[in-house]
Structure 1
Amino acid sequence: MNPWELLDKTEIPNDGGQLELLQRGDEFSIRLSGNRGELMNSRLHNSEEALAELGCAHLKSTVDAQVLVGGLGMGFTLAAALKVVSQSAKITVAELIPAVVEWNRGALGERAGRPLLDERVLIHTGDVIDLFSKNKSIFNAVLLDVDNGPEGLTHSANDHLYSLNRLKAIYNSLRTEGMLAIWSAAPDDTFLRSLKKVGFKVTTQTVRARVGKGSRHTIFLAKKLN
């Protein structure tokens, strides 16, 4: 088997360590440096696609839908969302780490079909928190794939993204019948109760990393009813 080749590394904001991009043949991996674990692999993206398919399922015929994707990753969630929504939709992708955007514009982008080239896509290089509005309902769907879900690994500030105050901000930013979909490495009953406390109607789905096999991941589906 071919060895992994380190293509690039970048600093994670707020002293989160370093992120590495590696390649082996046509396979890519994004990892935390220092043998702290793999975050993403280009062969394991079924649950990332399911995040978009489930979170945007109600938007197939919605004209001028507005979708926010928190976390670009390897682009699979974005690519799946683009397949669901109409041609009049706009999808804003918030990615905290500039290098991840550049990786997706480079060789890595081929794996997901280069979704950043779609004219419906807008890039926000910064914190997804900055895009939530306290006073205006903007989005038909918000898809969050940040770290491992409610219990973050790479960026301690991500804990605040899933706090009650932030969840309320997301709730207010959603239009009526809007959907908040969150990718998580595992179930989390405490977080489930937080979503309900804010006012969401919540269900969960268990999805495998690959179709029919691999690790089991959890998708939280939180709907705003009014």
Structure 2
Amino acid sequence: MSLWETLARARTASGDEIVLRQRGEIYEIRYNGIELMSNLNHQSEMQLAMRSMWRLNFQANRVLIGGLGLGYSLRALLDLAASDAEVTVCEIIPEVVAWNRGQLAHLAGSPLHDPRSRLVVGDVRDHLASSKGRYDLILLDTDNGPDFVVRPENESLYQDRGIADVAEALTPGGVAAFWSATASSRFEGTLSRYPWSWIREDIALVPGRVDAMHHIYSCAFDSRVLGLKQAS
């Protein structure tokens, strides 16, 4: 078995260490020694975009993605979006952006080069707070989800204020979807306190297997968008 090779290393202003490394065809980004993302299993990241676009009949023209990752969610979204769509991607770590334009660009087919992509280097929480009623679709693939954040500042995104900001940034018929590494009863309780409908879908890391799952939480004010009966 080949050994990991460190391709790049960066440090945030707060002292956190980010490492890009490679072993064979596997690329991995680690944050303070914890795996944050890799290209080994990205089925659920692509499903995050594909299922959400399907729910909106592929008519979402203003989309926000929170977290660039390795570009898989952005690629899946662009492959389904109209030619005049605008897809905003918020990524707080400049080095992740640089790596997606360099060593990692080939993994998802260079989605940042697509003219429909609009990059915001900054915190998605700040962007949401200033985007009331702007987006038809919001995809949040931020950190590792509500139960396993490696960047403590991201906790608030999955709490009441963060959920309210997400909801307020949607257009009336819009959809918000959250990626999560775990099924989170705590997060489900938070979603249930907000006046919208939500569902959880469990996505196999490897198609056909049921022993390891990632999860997608989808939310909408019109429950029919989620395939649920409208409340009377």
Q: Which amino acid aligns with 1:11?
A: R
Q: Does 1:7 align with 2:3?
A: no
Q: Distance in 2 between matches of 1:122 and 1:204?
A: 28
Q: Distance in 2 between matches of 1:146 and 1:170?
A: 13
Give 1:47-126 correspondences, 5 Å limit.
47-62=44-59, 65-126=61-122
| Secondary structure in 1 matching 2:142 | coil
Instruction: Please point out which of 174, 189, 200 is paired with 2:170.
Output: 174
Q: Which amino acid aligns with 2:48?
A: L
**How far 1:59 sits from its partner (Å)?**
3.8
Q: Distance in 2 between matches of 1:96 and 1:108?
A: 17
Identity of aligned residues (%): 33
| Secondary structure in 1 matching 2:212 | strand
Structure 2 gaps, min length 5: 224-232
Give 1:136-151 correspondences, 5 Å limit.
136-151=132-147
Whether the 8 Å contact between 2:49 and 2:77 is mirrored in structure 1 is yes
Change (3 A) 1:133 1:160: closer
Q: Distance in 1 between matches of 2:131 and 2:111?
A: 31
Change (3 A) 1:60 1:82: farther
Q: Distance in 2 between matches of 1:146 and 1:97?
A: 12
- Cα-Cα RMSD: 1.9
Q: Distance in 2 between matches of 1:135 and 1:68?
A: 10
Q: Does 1:28 align with 2:27?
A: yes
**How far 1:60 sits from its partner (Å)?**
4.5
Q: Distance in 1 between matches of 2:37 and 2:189?
A: 28
Structure 1 gaps, min length 5: none
Q: Distance in 2 between matches of 1:136 and 1:212?
A: 40
**How far 1:40 sits from its partner (Å)?**
1.6
TM-score by length of 2: 0.89
Whether the 8 Å contact between 2:147 and 2:182 is mirrored in structure 1 is no
**How far 1:154 sits from its partner (Å)?**
2.1
Q: Which amino acid aligns with 2:37?
A: M
Q: Distance in 2 between matches of 1:186 and 1:10?
A: 28
Whether the 8 Å contact between 1:175 and 1:224 is mirrored in structure 2 is no
Q: Distance in 2 between matches of 1:58 and 1:44?
A: 24
